[in-house]
Amino acid sequence: MKDSENILLKNFDITPFDAIQDTDYKPAIEQGILEARKEIDLIANSSEPATFENTIAALDYAGYKLDRITSAFFNINSAETNETIQKTAQEVSPLLSEFSNDITLNETLFKRVKHVFDAKDSLDLSREQQVLLEKKYKGFSRNGANLPEDKKARLREIDTQLSKLALTFGENILAETNKFELHITNEADLAGLPESTIESAAQTAEEKEKEGWIFTLEYPSYIPFMKYAENRELRKKMAIAFGAKGFHNDELDNQDHVLNIVNLRHERANLLGYKTHAHFVLEERMAKTPENVERFLEDLLEKAKPAAELEFKQLEKFAKERDGIEQLQKWDSAFYSEKLKQQLFELDDELLKPYFKLENVIDGVFTVAKKLYRLRFVEVFDIPKYHKDVKTYQVFDDKDNFIALFYADFHPRAGKRGGAWMTQFKGQFIKDGVNERPHVSNVCNFTKPTPSKPSLLTFNEVTTLFHEFGHGLHGMLANTTYPSLSGPSVYWDFVELPSQVLENWCYEPEALELFAKHYETGETIPMVLIDKIKKAANFQEGMQTLRQLSFGILDMSWHATDPSGIENVKAHETAAFEGTKLYPDVAENCMSVAFSHIFQGGYSSGYYSYKWAEVLDADAFAYFKENGIFNKEVADQFKNHILSQGGTEDPMVLYKRFRGKEPNPEALLKRAGLIK
């Protein structure tokens, strides 16, 4: 195919998924890199003196076509991948890494950037321009612009290796997830499982042309099995399979990949003059240093651990009394926690699910966005999609201005990685007087509809939908001039504030009454159930907090010290978990080799940010609660100072502008029931 026939190389606003062939991506990315290089070369070799506009702003707008192509491609690789796409990813990632290095290691270009940076005090720059200038300068200086040639060459090698290792890591986990199935043919083995879960498993078996029921490691199959299946041996089998992904000493094993990644990251940080990868990363975070992160985690651990240990003893006692269990194991956790929750609060996810039909929850989150931010969502059916399950919406404000295009992709399938995330096919920015509006996507893995029932969500899935939609609002309501400062382009320990704060509405009667309606009768969720949801909100909060902290501690153990002496991934992990351990270790399992957040995603040295942002979100929501959860003035302040501002200013400055003061950590501890 000629380049001129490649749809991705034509000018488009809406990504033309219906016309893209898998084989279009690689030539389009290669051509996109060539065109972006020409744009960069024009900036670097300009005969004009370097100015903010012709160097800094020009750099931020450069490579727009390439950005659009890669945004489409890498989301497809996450949400609808196949062998061709994965092969392409392995081939183009080194090219993109090399291109990125070619920019940051371009001495001529860096001289122009430095010239503007050195003159910054004499320039009449807006606050946003000042931030962009500092970001661009740091982008060069923090990524090797000042290194001698031999170290620049090594940096290139490291970045190429890291890009390929991250892809392979993720491909292995997806392959492991798709490979495993628990095939049940004896109906007695289904004891305890809800009717909807059994029906889904029968549907999966039918799709695979097998008799009986099939359970997989995808969350909508795995979680209800672990929560409800009475057969302890089968729960054990599922739990071990889930925890052993990437840990089988076979072609899908990730142990060497983990060691290679952490050692390369450490070497890279050292090359750039930093003690560890965490020191490099955290310089550009609210936390600033590994020491601050470790203090933060230790402080929370000190408060959460006594509560977690009490909760664990309560769970042990309950399991022994109910079933004579002498030693609780990890595959008992969800099962007995659910049974104990039912006993304490008379609350069962299966009681709640009929009130959380997916379409109603989507309408609910749209209504919350309308009441808070005056947004209107209109489903449209003529937008090209990459899969038939995807829903598309146009978003307008109360003056009928077009705000964003929103894609929603909610069900698991073989080509989609696990978890939930927000991404963009097009970011927001202002250029030549035109405010380019964003195209935002939420991707999740929720329970599928069955022949007899629509998609009914667990309460946890409801909060996940709200969480990702909070990220979505951060993208949709962006209103900044420069692309790299727009929407969720903020410090990673600030990016979870918009997502986590929106989860709070899921617990409020005023919000639940808008959308929690029985899928058959239309009856609004009874207040008695809402009260139970609120009462159960802090159930095992100590144990949940301990679990989150253990992940943050594991992340820092890999990235805040020299990893060169680590030879055994499992042994290192076991030592890191020692201070947060409640359950006996499972020899066959290893979390690090499937810890995609830090080894495939962008959370290395940043997993703590979920808890960090919880401090912000608890404090922010306390402000809403004081004034009413749909208070227009507070919502406008959150929109104007947080959601629309992206990374145009220091996060704490933005937060204080919204809240009037710094966040109070006690709000989180009180909400979690860890202090009175």
Tell me the CATH number at 666: 1.10.1370.40
Same domain for 411 and 329, yes or no, is no
Same domain for 348 and 395, yes or no, is no
Predicted pLDDT at 1: 45
Same domain for 94 and 205, yes or no, is no
Concatenating the DSSP letter of every residue in 322-384 gives HH--SS--GGGHHHHHHHHHHHHH---HHHHGGG-BHHHHHHHHHHHHHHHH--EEEEES-S-
Predicted pLDDT at 672: 84
Q: Which residues contact 308 (CB under 8 A, 6 or more apart)?
A: 542, 543, 545, 546, 582
Structural domain ending residue among the three candidates 606, 638, 657 = 606
Residue 339, amino acid: K
Same domain for 565 and 452, yes or no, is no
The whole-number mean pLDDT for each consecutive block of 10 residues of the chain, a chain of 676 residues, reads 76 96 97 98 98 98 98 97 97 96 96 97 96 97 94 97 97 96 98 95 96 96 97 98 98 98 98 98 96 96 95 98 97 97 92 96 98 98 97 98 98 93 98 97 94 94 98 98 97 94 96 97 95 93 96 98 98 98 98 97 94 94 96 98 97 96 86 80
DSSP 3-state assignment of 217? Answer: coil
Residue 403: inside a domain: yes
Residue range(s) defining the domain that contains residue 483 = 353-524+610-672
Residue 102: inside a domain: yes
Same domain for 337 and 293, yes or no, is yes
Q: Which residues contact 534 (CB under 8 A, 6 or more apart)?
A: 507
Residue 164: inside a domain: no
Number of continuous H segments (helices) and E segments (strands) in the chain: 27, 9
Structural domain ending residue among the three candidates 188, 214, 244 = 244
Same domain for 29 and 98, yes or no, is yes
- Cα distances from 451 to residues 164, 279, 455, in angstroms, run 41, 53, 10
Same domain for 73 and 32, yes or no, is yes
Same domain for 236 and 282, yes or no, is no
Structural domain ending residue among the three candidates 577, 606, 635 = 606
Same domain for 381 and 498, yes or no, is yes
Same domain for 186 and 277, yes or no, is no
Q: Report if pTM > 0.85.
A: yes
Same domain for 369 and 518, yes or no, is yes
Predicted pLDDT at 550: 98
Find the distance separating the first CA and the last CA of the chain, reported in whole Å: 67
Count of other CB atoms within 10 angstroms of residue 648 = 23
Residue 249: inside a domain: no
Strand-pair category, 439-443 with 421-426: antiparallel
Residue 161: inside a domain: no
Residue 156: inside a domain: no
Domain CATH number, residue 550? 1.10.1370.10
Active-site residue, 468 included: yes
Domain CATH number, residue 98? 1.20.1050.40
Predicted pLDDT at 349: 86
Same domain for 510 and 433, yes or no, is yes
Catalytic residue among 176, 468, 541, 573: 468
Q: Give how many domains the chain has, as a whole number.
A: 4
The Cα 592–Cα 251 span in angstroms is 17
Predicted pLDDT at 4: 59
Residue 170: inside a domain: no
Residue 301: inside a domain: yes
